A = this chain, B = another copy of it.
Amino acid sequence: MKKPIRPEIPRKTIYRLSIYLRCLQRLKSNTIRTVSSDALAKAAGVKPTQLRKDLTYFGQFGTRGLGYDVEQLAAMISDLLGTKRLQPVVLIGVGNLGLALLSYRGFEQEGFEIVAAFDVRADRLKIKQAKQPFYSMERLEEVVRDRAVRMAIVTVPATAAQEVTNRLVACGIAGILNFSPIVLQVPEDVTVNNVNLAIELENLSYFIQD
């Protein structure tokens, strides 16, 4: 039997890998070379058993009594997540939120480069202060193909989101970060992560009730 190249890994494990990576990067910048699973788990806000279970999906790491090599574990996780090279990303919908995301430094620090922004309204070009090139929607397919882009950030109104998504999928986008408050329909091999800021607040609202 051939070993599968990519085992079925829970989505939550992938999320937690990102958190472990950030903790490891902080340790690295503090010139700490090894970390116990207990200490790393605490920094990440998870139980040590959870951390160990998450890492076993990817093989054996760490030395009993010594813990993990910070640099080695960070490199492994970064490799797994596919963020070792700079990933090109396009952004569709340059409203307030889109504009903010264009100037958000957090993405580049983590290995993502928004290579182009698109909007139906060409006049939005005037108000933008972003460094990324800005195009009208007609050039979407061309730019995505020329730059071999596989990821997109969608910040268009709900009414336009599905149509934009169909176009993105058709030209080869495989991962969509969706800020529109609708459920996008995509083929099985396309991944959508939804960020709905209003829903996050609404959810908090439930928990703060007396």
Taking Cβ atoms with an 8 Å cutoff, the residues of A that contact B are 6, 11, 14-15, 17-19, 21-22, 43-45, 80-83, 87, 89, 96-97, 99-101, 103-107, 109-112, 150-151, 153, 174-177, 181-183, 191, 193, 195-209
Contact = CB atoms under 8 A, between A and B. Distances in A.
Contact of A198 (B109, B183, B196): B109
Contact of A201 (B112, B196, B199): B112
Most buried by B among A6, A81, A191, A207: A207
B195 A200 contact: yes
9 contacts: A11-B203, A18-B196, A96-B100, A101-B197, A106-B197, A112-B205, A150-B208, A151-B208, A175-B208
A22 B109 CA distance: 34
Total identical chains: 2
Most buried by B among A89, A110, A181, A198: A198
A208 B82 contact: yes
A204 to B, nearest CB: 3
B104 A205 contact: no
A97 B197 CA distance: 12
Given A174-B208, A177-B204, A195-B200, A104 B96 contact: yes
A194 to B, nearest CB: 9
A204 B193 contact: yes
Given A82-B209, A195-B197, A198-B110, A204 B181 contact: no
A203 to B, nearest CB: 5
A173 to B, nearest CB: 9
A21 B196 CA distance: 13
Given A183-B19, A198-B112, A81 B44 contact: no
